[in-house]
Amino acid sequence: MGFDKPLTMAAVATLLALGVVSLYGIYDYAMKSRADPAFAYSMAYLDFMQKMDRLAFPFAVAFILILAICIPKRIVPERYLIPPSALLLVVAFGVYLKDYRLALGVVLTFALALQAGVFALTLAGKELHFHSVGYKKRVGSTLVHLGIVAIALSIVQPSWVILEPLTVFWGATAAIGIGMLLLFYTRSGGNG
C-alpha cells in the first residue's frame, strides 16, 4: 500500500493540470479565432500549437512517469522500484534532450510491454501486488492501465503502432470501459 495513495494523488493532480492547460488552450484558441477568423490557417496557429505543446509536455511526461512506476509495482516489490525508475527517468531525460517524442515513445513502449505482461499474469491468476481486492477488480485495473498506455503510445509515436489509429483508439477505449466496469461494479474480495 506504500505507493498506492501517493501515486493516485499524483496522477489525479497531473490529469487536473492537463485539464487546466486544455481549458486554457480552448479559451485562447476561441479568443484568437474570434479576433482573426483565419487564425486556424495562419502561421500564428502553428506558434499557438507549439506553445500548447510546451505547456502540456511537463504534465504529460509526469503522467507517463507515474504510469512507469505504477505498472511495474505490480510485479516488483516497492522497495526495488526507485533505482530502476530513476534510471528510466535519466534515460528518458537523455533521450528527451535529443527528441522528446522518442523519449516518450521509449517509456510508453516499455510500459505497454510490461502492462501486457501484467495482464497475462493477472489473467493466469498469479498473485501480483494490487491495491484492488478480487480477481475481476485486478483484471479491471490492468485493462484500464493497458488502455491508457496504448492510447498514449498511439498519440506520441503513431508510426510505432502496427494497428490503425482508430483500431487502437476503439480497442483501448473498450479496454478502459470494461476495466472501469470491473473495477467499480464488482464486489471486493474472493473471486468477485
Asked whether residue 59 falls in the same domain as residue 122, the answer is no
Length of the chain: 192
Asked whether residue 7 falls in the same domain as residue 90, the answer is no
State yes or no: pLDDT of 36 exceeds 90.
yes
Render pLDDT for 87-133 as a digit per residue (tens, 0 to 9): 777 777 777 677 777 777 877 788 788 888 888 888 888 877 777 77
pTM of the model: 0.68
The verdict on residue 19 lying in a domain is yes
Number of domains, the chain: 2
The residue whose grid cell reads 523519449 is 103
Dihedral sign computed on CA atoms, order 27, 30, 31, 32: positive
The verdict on residue 9 lying in a domain is yes
Residue range(s) defining the domain that contains residue 44: 1-70
Asked whether residue 66 falls in the same domain as residue 109, the answer is no
CA distance 26 to 46: 15
Residue 190 backbone class (left: φ over 0; alpha: ψ -120 to 50; beta: rest): left
